[in-house]
A and B are shown apart, each in its own frame.
Chain A
């Protein structure tokens, strides 16, 4: 089992973590077209590479950002969310 580093609790087995998904910035809902919105909601980029994702350390309910290379299956870095998306 992999080890993941929670920015608050340190290294823990990955079974303690909840994966949310890649962080995406939504288009402006007031101005975007239906197609743009649908693309944002439904299309996920599954191509291997470095992904920026939301993860949560479940026992402590700590949300943070993980950067992960899905090609090499390595967790590059984890840090607390500093703002960005809406």
Chain B
């Protein structure tokens, strides 16, 4: 129920909101969370547990327990798995508890609780090993398990990413985080302070700590992000900050982790009943939301924090029926205040079990003696309507674990504490075992100044740290019960006996135990269960908690909406300077490497295949033009230029005459072919050469490296972007080129190089024959190449695309590096052995080729043809060649040549099967075969008369 307005409350009572939960209408106030609004309305059961469908209500009220999860079905698309503890309720919300069969009040699946004997630990592993039964189990578990429902109609929402930078990122805005941020900011650092809550201050907001930290932080030069959590730590202080709407990738020079501690639930029978809650939940409900759910309370405590909460309860007029303290004797604090009020205090005692009433709420507890971690005789049975628990914390070390921090276990405080931190990462507050206001504040200041000294390389004196006197974490707040229902993990309904059984079955290592029991594998990822699980394992195996160790902490600390992670794909494409011209000519584009290239030019009423054939025939019969601006275009200049090329390429270039060009093949150190191109000599000390389209960037990079190592007297210039290039080919290419240039084309031999004006543009021209007809490769500055292109197009040259080029070059048996070669192709088995010049002192791959050449080839590249009358579907690239039931090779290129009227191709094949005329069997994907015959290449114009211009 809601109590009278409080100064500390963060709800706006002037604005009421109406929403439904499980079909019933409720009112709340603006600022309420779903949980606080429901509790204010007196709703008792807010959710059902994952496995046994036990009734549950608020437990931590801190975002990190899974008792209350709801789907919002009010919108066009429903939103699954909302954490009701922390999500603000909105007007018009229609909420439904997840994972129930017939509603949260009367969940039919709660009968599973009675069958818990038949759902032993490791059930999945035990049940699923029979293959025949698997489909049945799968169907059943797909229905039974899982939480909210995903709405598959939900559209993809693109979320932008934010890139942030700061000197100092402080995670957590409680006492120590605020102190750290202030110390860092006051000493001139650019500070970002984040907190997962809607307000900064942490426990200041709901405990009686008098201090001005919140106001000072707001006034200081600090960037504050609330409703924001650090989801992951990545190398060099790159922290993923997740906001409600987006993610910030924050690069911080220093990181201060002040993330506080998670309250840990004590374990006893029925410790999960509604209205049994952690002290923090109790305090936040009262102070921030003015919601009181308990009138007659039992407090189960083992630290000062529990007594602070009890004092607050008294202030709010709550009747304390008993305080049960696990500790006894010297460990107890001064209890005069409570004794004076006649509040019974049971020291050295525990709650052995809680009992529930008709409304499933807790109605009473049994208090037993508690000695050495074991329950003794019954001391009292006490009726109550709520239990508040404060027996310990577990520090939120997740981010520090991700940052590779070495931890130690502090026995006095019974918690892990950072021992060796990365040099730009600092921790403070509860993480370091400090729980009183003064120690936390000083510890924060120390962390802040440490950050300043790190960033500024200064030596500001650190304040003296205060010794911590509190021991807030009880080492064993766990009470066994023969009837079970002693919950360690609330997400997964794991009981104490499950751990015992798992260890008995041999899963006695923390990582194994986690996976076998699924402890800490629910949505809260063990924030309230890992520490107890570790303690149980330590006790069962007679180890210390440090020896047991923790499981590996990985990103994310907290679930991140997929929309924050999925973003725009970032795969930039390159386009040539002629790109818009291709668009104008109805080009269909394809991706070659990361270049966009015309595959072919669409023609109205003509099929793709016919359009490609027409382009091929235009090159054969008249003149075609293709944009080859995607080729890498490099220049090497200097006295050692020829020497450089001779070391890189397998052929010789020192003797290449100025004004001539030569084919070049480059290998890597293993002798494998990696690139090819044409190398033209512009002057004694000046070469211009091309690389493959896909190799354009990498070859330049590698040549730069080699040039650095060799220290030759030459330099490399990359013209790939600054030059465009077109290939003009066909019997009429000479005629059409002649119209636009004064160059003497009669004095321009095959593989010659010339510089001349074409259509008014200064061009570099190589007479090459990649496509097998008389042709010219014309390179021109990127900003002007379109003038050359336009001149030829307007004069009737037919544009052709990559597909037609592939057909044309395949007719000539010209290889494409990366298609007709692979990671094992050397010049010897890629059909370019004629280019190898072993009689040079050195080239890359030479020594390896020497070895390779002394051994028999395993595969060679060969041409093949299908019979001219073959009319079935053509085989595809990568279809296998089968010989006597074994794989003998594969197709690398195949096409139907419109000029030759038959299917031609290249294949890798065993040398003994590569004699001309030999019949090979090609296997289709469906297992059928087609016969083909090895054939001489080039398939077309074997004497190369056309490209030489002799024909």
Task: State in angstroms the CA–CA spacing of A85 and B708 once bound together.
Answer: 11
Inside 8 A of A41's CB, which chain B residues have their CB? 669-670, 848
Are B842 and A29 touching (Cβ within 8 A)? yes
Name B700's closest neighbour in chain A (CB-CB).
A61
- Any chain A CB within 8 A of the CB of B847? yes
CB distance from A69 to the nearest CB of B (A): 13
Closest Cβ of chain B to A58, distance in Å, is: 7
How close is B894's CB to chain A, nearest CB, in angstroms?
33
> Using an 8 Å CB-CB cutoff, how does the interface string of A1-29 with B read, 1 for contact, 0 for none?
11100000000000000101000001001
By the criterion CB–CB under 8 Å, are B236 and A54 in contact?
no
**Complex formed: what's the CA distance from A86 to B701 in Å?**
19
Residue of A nearest to B668 (CB): A41
8 Å CB contacts to A: which residues of B214-240? 234-236, 238
A37 near B847: Cβ-Cβ < 8 Å? yes
CB distance from A43 to the nearest CB of B (A): 12
B705 within 8 Å of A (CB atoms):
yes
Instruction: Scan A49-60; emit 1 where CB is below 8 A from any B CB, else 0.
Output: 000001010100
Decide if A1 touches B705 in the complex (CB within 8 Å): no
- Chain B residues with CB under 8 Å of A29's CB are 842, 846-847
Say how far B336's CB is from chain A's closest CB, in angstroms. Answer: 55
Nearest Cβ distance between residue B719 and chain A, in whole angstroms? 14
A63 contacts which chain B residues (CB < 8 A)? Answer: 704-705, 708
Docked complex Cα distance between A47 and B708 (Å): 28
Nearest B residue to A11 via CB reads B236
Chain A min CB distance to B673 (Å): 15
In the complex, how many residues of chain A place their beta carbon closer than 8 angstroms to a beta carbon of chain B?
23
Query: Is A1 touching B851 in the complex (CB atoms < 8 A)?
Result: no
Beta-carbon nearest neighbor of B669 in chain A: A41
Q: Are A18 and B236 in contact (CB under 8 A)?
A: no
Check if B235 sits within 8 Å of A73, measured CB to CB. yes
Q: Are A81 and B709 in contact (CB under 8 A)?
A: yes
B851 in contact with A37 (CB, 8 Å): yes
Q: Please state if B235 and A56 are interface contacts (CB–CB under 8 Å).
A: no
Whether B236 lies near A1 (C-beta < 8 A) is yes
- Chain B minimum-CB-distance residue to A4: B236
B236 touches A56 (CB 8 A): no
B711 CB-CB contact with A under 8 Å: yes
Nearest chain A residue, comparing its CB with the CB of B718: A61
CA of A34 to CA of B700 in the docked complex: distance in angstroms?
A: 30
Measured between alpha carbons, how far is A73 from B422 in the docked complex, in Å?
A: 12
Contact present for B236 and A3 (CB under 8 Å): yes
B704 and A61: CB pair below 8 A? yes
Check A2 against B236 for contact (C-beta < 8 Å): yes
**Given A18-B701, A63-B704, A86-B709, A1 contacting B847 (CB threshold 8 A):** no
Q: Is the CB of A58 within 8 A of B701?
A: yes
**Which among A1, A42, A86 is the interface contact of B238 at CB below 8 angstroms?**
A1
Q: Which residue of B lies closest to A1 (CB)?
A: B238
- A1 CA to B851 CA, complexed, in Å: 42
- B235 proximity list for chain A (CB < 8 A): 1-3, 73
User: How far does the Cβ of B548 sit from chain A's closest Cβ, in whole Å?
Assistant: 25
Q: How far is the CA of A81 from the CA of B710 in the complex (A)?
A: 11
Q: CB within 8 Å of A: which of B9-32?
A: none
Provide the bound-state CA to CA distance between A10 and B238, in Å.
18
- The count of A-to-B residue pairs whose CB atoms sit within 8 angstroms is 44
Is A83 an interface residue, CB under 8 A from the partner?
Answer: yes
Measured between beta carbons, the chain B residues less than 8 angstroms from A20 are 705
Residues of B within 8 A of A2 (CB): 235-236
Residue of A3, A37, A85 near B709 (CB, 8 A) is A85
For window 828-859 of B, CB contacts with A under 8 Å fall at 842, 846-848, 851
Q: Mark B665-677, 1 if CB is under 8 A from A, else 0.
A: 0000110000000
Q: Specify which chain A residues have a CB less than 8 angstroms from the CB of B700 in the assembled complex.
A: 61
In chain B, residues 515-567, which have Cβ atoms closer than 8 Å to a Cβ of chain A?
none
Q: Does A38 contact B (CB under 8 A)?
A: yes
CA distance A38 to B669 in the complex (A): 10
Are B851 and A83 in contact, CB atoms less than 8 angstroms apart?
A: no
Task: Give bound CA distance, A13 to B709, whole Å.
Answer: 25
Give the residue name and chain of the B residue nearest to A81 (CB): B708
Q: Inside 8 A of A73's CB, which chain B residues have their CB?
A: 235
How far apart are the CA atoms of A86 and B706 in the complex, in Å? 10
Chain B 708-736 interface 0/1 with A at a Cβ cutoff of 8 Å (1 = within) = 11110000001000000000000000000
Of all chain B residues, which has the CB nearest A2?
Answer: B235
- Minimum distance in angstroms from A16 CB to a CB of chain B: 13
Q: CA separation between A58 and B700, bound complex, in Å? A: 11
Do the beta carbons of B701 and A61 come within 8 Å of each other?
A: yes
A58 CA to B718 CA, complexed, in Å? 13
Task: Give Cα A42 to B669, complex, Å.
Answer: 9
CA distance A22 to B46 in the complex (A): 60
Residue of A nearest to B697 (CB): A58
Contact mask for chain B residues 649-676; partner A; CB cutoff 8 A; 1 contact, 0 none: 0000000000000000000011000000
Q: Which of the listed residues A54, A63, A73, A83 has the most CB atoms from chain B within 10 Å of its own CB?
A: A63
Please indicate which of the listed interface residues B236, B251, B700, B846 has the most CB atoms of chain A within 10 Å of its own CB. B236
Chain A residue numbers with a CB within 8 Å of B847 are: 29, 32, 37
A45 to nearest B CB, angstroms?
A: 16
Chain A hits for B669, CB < 8 A: 26, 41
Q: How far is the CA of A56 from the CA of B718 in the complex (A)?
A: 16
Per-residue interface assignment for chain B, residues 582 to 607, with 1 indicating a CB less than 8 Å from any chain A CB and 0 otherwise: 00000000000000000000000000
Q: How far is the CA of A86 from the CA of B708 in the complex (A)?
A: 11
Known A29-B847, A37-B848, A63-B708; judge A56-B238 contact (CB<8 A): no
A83 to B701, CA, bound (A): 18
Task: Find out whether the CB atom of A42 lies under 8 angstroms from the CB atom of B704.
Answer: no
- Chain B window 163-185, contacts with chain A (Cβ cutoff 8 Å), 1 for yes, 0 for no: 00000000000000000000000
Which of B708, B710, B847, B848 has the most chain A CB within a 10 Å cutoff?
B847
Establish whether residues B709 and A34, one from each chain, have CB atoms under 8 Å apart when the complex forms.
Answer: no
Q: Bound state CA distance, A61 and B705, in angstroms? A: 9
Q: How far is the CA of A53 from the CA of B670 in the complex (A)?
A: 19
Interface string of B461-492 (1 = CB under 8 A from A): 00000000000000000000000000000000
Q: How far, in Å, is A55 (CB) from chain B's closest CB? A: 10
Bound complex: CA A2 to CA B708 (Å)? 26
Closest CB of chain A to B842's CB: distance in Å? 7
Closest beta carbon of chain A to B64's beta carbon, Å: 28
Smallest beta-carbon distance B247→chain A, Å: 14
Q: State how many angstroms separate the Cβ of B635 from the closest Cβ of chain A.
A: 14
Instruction: Tell me which of A2, A26, A41, A86 has the highest count of chain B C-beta atoms within 10 A of its own C-beta.
Output: A41
User: Which B-chain residue is minimally distant from A84 (CB atoms)?
Assistant: B709
User: Closest residue to A75 on the B side, CB-wise?
Assistant: B236
Q: Which residues of A contact B711 (CB under 8 A)?
A: 83
Q: Which residues of A are found within 8 Å of B704, using beta-carbon distances?
A: 56, 61, 63
A73–B235 alpha-carbon span in the complex (Å) = 9
B229 vs chain A, min Cβ distance (A): 20
Residues of A within 8 A of B846 (CB): 29
Alpha-carbon gap, A20 to B842, bound state (A): 22
A1 to B79, CA, bound (A): 32
Q: Complex Cα distance A32/B710, Å?
A: 20
Asked whether A34 and B708 contact (CB < 8 A) given A1-B235, A61-B701, the answer is: no
Please, which residues of chain A bring their CB within 8 A of the CB of B238?
1
Minimum CB–CB distance from A49 to chain B (whole Å) comes to: 18
Nearest CB of chain B from residue A29's CB, rounded to whole Å: 4
* Closest chain B residue to A62, Cβ basis: B704
User: Once bound together, how far apart are the Cα atoms of A29 and B841, in whole Å?
Assistant: 10
Q: Kindly state the separation between the CA atoms of A51 and B670 in the bound complex, as whole angstroms.
A: 22
CA distance A3 to B711 in the complex (A): 29
Within the assembled complex, what's the spacing in Å between the Cα atoms of A38 and B671?
11
Q: Roughly how many angstroms separate A73 CA and B669 CA in the complex, as a whole number? A: 28
B841 nearest in chain A by CB position: A30
Q: How far is the CB of A38 from chain B (nearest CB, A)?
A: 7
Q: List 7 A-B contacts (CB under 8 A).
A: A1-B238, A2-B236, A20-B705, A41-B670, A42-B670, A54-B705, A61-B704
Using A1-B236, A54-B705 as known contacts, list a sample of 11 further A-B pairs with CB atoms less than 8 Å apart, ordered by residue number in A.
A2-B236, A3-B235, A3-B236, A29-B847, A37-B847, A41-B670, A41-B848, A61-B704, A63-B704, A83-B711, A86-B710
5 shortest A-B CB distances, which residue pairs? A29-B847, A2-B235, A3-B236, A34-B851, A63-B705
